[in-house]
Amino acid sequence: MLRVAVVGASGYTGVELLRLLRGHSGADVVCVTSRLHEGLPIAEVFPSLSGHYQLLCEPLDVEAIAARCDVVFTALPHKTAMSVVPGFLNSCCKVIDLSADYRLKDRAVYEQWYQTHTSPELLDRAVYGLPEICRDQIAGADLVANPGCYPTSIALGLAPLLHNRLVHLSSLIIDSKSGMTGAGRGAKLGSLYSEVNEGFRAYGVASHRHIPEIEQTLTSIAGETVKVSFTPHLLPVNRGILSTIYADLKQDFSTHDLLEFYRVFYRGEPFVRILKEGDMPNVANVRGSNYCDIGLVSDERTGRVVVVSVIDNLCKGAAGQAVQNMNLMNGLRESQGLDLVAAFP
């Protein structure tokens, strides 16, 4: 039985980790931390956990936590994570970091988009945690950088096209929409119900921090430099990401032909579902699950393909993928603890 700590348990990602781990037969959560709620029962912070956890929120003491844990999930903000991850690794814990601190391999790129990096020596050691693309590397890792939610939906939506060199790389345009939980649990003016309800807006246009991660991942898949136009939008829903991706095809392919490329590429993948011709994904059909649903259309009039990819931003986009990575790192069944039917409606 793996002894697990959730460091930073009072955010949306933290409570989602606890929800998933409660049903995991190979993991036992022995520690949760929260600076804001130190000393309070985690079930008091999140009443949804009542009857499932009796743990108190602890202070973040790396040595004390590492002494009784095998695996640590760091669900902390950027910069805060990099201050504690080295200590957990030095104590022989395996770490799945859900911040952006170890996703980007180039220190200069990270510092351009975020802040000064205090443990750059770990950037090469960290494995990017997208199982469908990096499964073998994840299995041998002790530090996994869990991908961002937007990059997950986009990389899974584009991977078969890039792998098979079916599209012109200079033509990639990505239009993504995220539910409100993607903005975190902290109180912000832009996250207030009255500010978001019945609204729909773009933000971070040509400047969102996920752009370098998206481009790094797609470049790795394509084997050559990829740059994208990426525009995120805020949806007035709690959960879900829907990414619509446009690309110019190198030659004529029917929708049927392109779907076959996707089915072959994702054959055997437990969490990627390719929809049948004529169907398009809906965020409602993946809510609370670790699935990514993908549909597409070949627009023969324009010579483009339009791909639609949906995930739950808190599950496949964060906590669910982190549990998937924990399973791979520890030789467990990849879908253990994640055999969940989506909550519909």
Q: Which residues are catalytic?
A: 149
Contact (CB, 8 A) for 36 and 61: no
295 DSSP β-pair partners: 308
